[in-house]
Structure 1
Amino acid sequence: MRHAPAYGLLAAGLSLAACGPIPVEQAERQCYAQFAPKPPISGEAGMGVTNDGFRSNMKVELNVGAYVQGDPSAAYDSCVFRKSGRMPTRPLYSY
């Protein structure tokens, strides 16, 4: 039972280490995935009737990317700094 406080201190130290900064390259990857421009979702539909009757066509393009107030590049820089404690080595739009 004399080792119980040591195990408690070890567990506390390991849990606090999980909150520490991560390498800047890892932070850049995580933040890029969050703030990168997303490709739009698009599709086409058609409807028709034979003998040159009723015909319809529709094209839809929807952009459901991450919406950030302000500059996405600044949000990326802030995210990387918050996670790693360092400024990014590559800007958002260089990937």
Structure 2
Amino acid sequence: YITVPTCAAAWLLRIPIFLHESNAFPGLATRFLVNTLRAAARLYLGFARAKTFLTHPGPIVTGNPVRQDIAAPLGGAAASEEKARCLEKLFPGSVSQEEE
């Protein structure tokens, strides 16, 4: 929850704020800074769907940074359904794949 006071101070000091929202549904801090204060000079999004909740005039969808070894496709025995469920539990997102 340090985002709001830090960005509010930067906003008051006229320091440009670049925000990255990695969730499909933006959190309260992001919605406050973007929709209420209009403090973000640039807004980067992990999911295009997040645009619908924010009033920023030009958000840029960049996706979420992921380590290469995590992003690599599963192969061989690791492709089993059981192991895929295990990975889903290890790396939960804000929205499940079925909802997108």
Shorter-chain TM-score bucket reads: under 0.3
Larger Rg: 1
- Which protein has greater RCO, CA pairs closer than 8 Å, 6+ apart? 1
| Normalised TM-score (structure 1) | 0.21
